[in-house]
A and B are shown apart, each in its own frame.
Chain A
Amino acid sequence: MKKILTIIILFIGVLKTFASPPNLVVEKLFDGRYNRNPNVETTIFINNGIYYRGFTIKGDAKVISEIRAAMDKDLERSIQYTFHTDTEGSYISMQFINNEEKINSGLQIESPGNGFFYIQAKETAFK
């Protein structure tokens, strides 16, 4: 019985390794928690195999800091990271690879509490 159990668990593990979703921390922010938040505009858009998800935040510093914290957790997995600040605001850009597809993620903080965040890639990158 123990052997059978081990085989089953290994089999499930192997199944999960092939074509598994990236499970990025930033992705988890799109579980619907901000749908009823009047300060956040949530967008999910799929067209021609391109999968886009984004937030437009107006006057909610807490949400911005939550997004930053999630991005920080994903930093280790990113293949490219860019941070820039100028008069228009701060820019954080990250890129990931999953299922051999590139995932782009970015956060623009225009002013404290106001910003724009997105994550976008081919659908196959998230499956």
Chain B
Amino acid sequence: MRDSDSILSLKELETLCHLYLDCRLTTLEEKELEYILLNPALQNPASGISIVQDVKRIMEFEDREYLKLNRSVKTLKGRNLVSFKLWGAAAAVIILILSSMLFFNVNDRGYINHTNNIDYTRQTAGKVFCEVYSNGRQLNQEEALEIANDNLKRMKAFEEKIQLIENEEKEKVEKFKTITKGMP
């Protein structure tokens, strides 16, 4: 293709337009043709050749479509980024809530379960953990251990009583089975 500074005859311009429509121009040549067609002498449709006007319209259309496409791709990229950030934030919040619930074991009333406040490592050396509240105040270790021992004795007595009750119930069932064995 010749330089845009060179003077083109209408015939040559028409040939170039035909080549453009046949897609036989390179991208660079197409751009040069576009530049040439911007010449004010070719702006008036009445003065121009019909094929030149057609090519101009096609070029304008292509430019518009290119711009539209470019804009939509940019918007899509932006949206993807926003959605990615949103999902990321949601994931982080969910993980944080779940892990804190696992760690603190928060019950349905919003209290932190007391068992988690106990430092289990204190037990490893065979030490005793004892915490007693009586009359609304925490007792010292000595008093607490005394009460804890009483409680354990009481619990043992309770379990013995339950065992006795269960044995009595079993005996009754066995007796009933023996009595009703021969019955039709």
User: What is the interface of chain A, defined by CB distance below 8 A to chain B?
Assistant: 1-2, 4-5, 8-9, 12, 15-16, 21, 23, 27-28, 30-38, 40-49, 52, 54, 56, 82, 84, 91, 93, 104, 106, 108, 116, 118, 120, 123, 126-127
| Chain A facing B: main interface SS | mixed
Check if A44 sits within 8 Å of B129, measured CB to CB: yes
User: What is the interface of chain B, defined by CB distance below 8 A to chain A?
Assistant: 84, 87-88, 90-91, 94-95, 98-99, 102, 105, 107-109, 111-115, 118, 120, 123, 126, 128-136, 138, 144, 147-148, 151-152, 154-155, 158-159, 161-162, 165-166
Check if A21 sits within 8 Å of B166, measured CB to CB: no
| Chain B facing A: main interface SS | helix
Residue of A whose beta carbon sits closest to that of B126: A48
Q: A93-B162, A118-B158 are in contact. List 15 more A-B contacts (CB 8 A).
A: A15-B102, A27-B113, A28-B109, A38-B135, A38-B136, A43-B148, A44-B131, A45-B152, A46-B118, A47-B128, A47-B129, A52-B155, A91-B165, A93-B158, A116-B151
Residue of A whose beta carbon sits closest to that of B131: A44
**Cβ distance B106 to chain A, nearest Cβ, rounded Å:** 10
- Count of A-B residue pairs with CB < 8 Å: 131
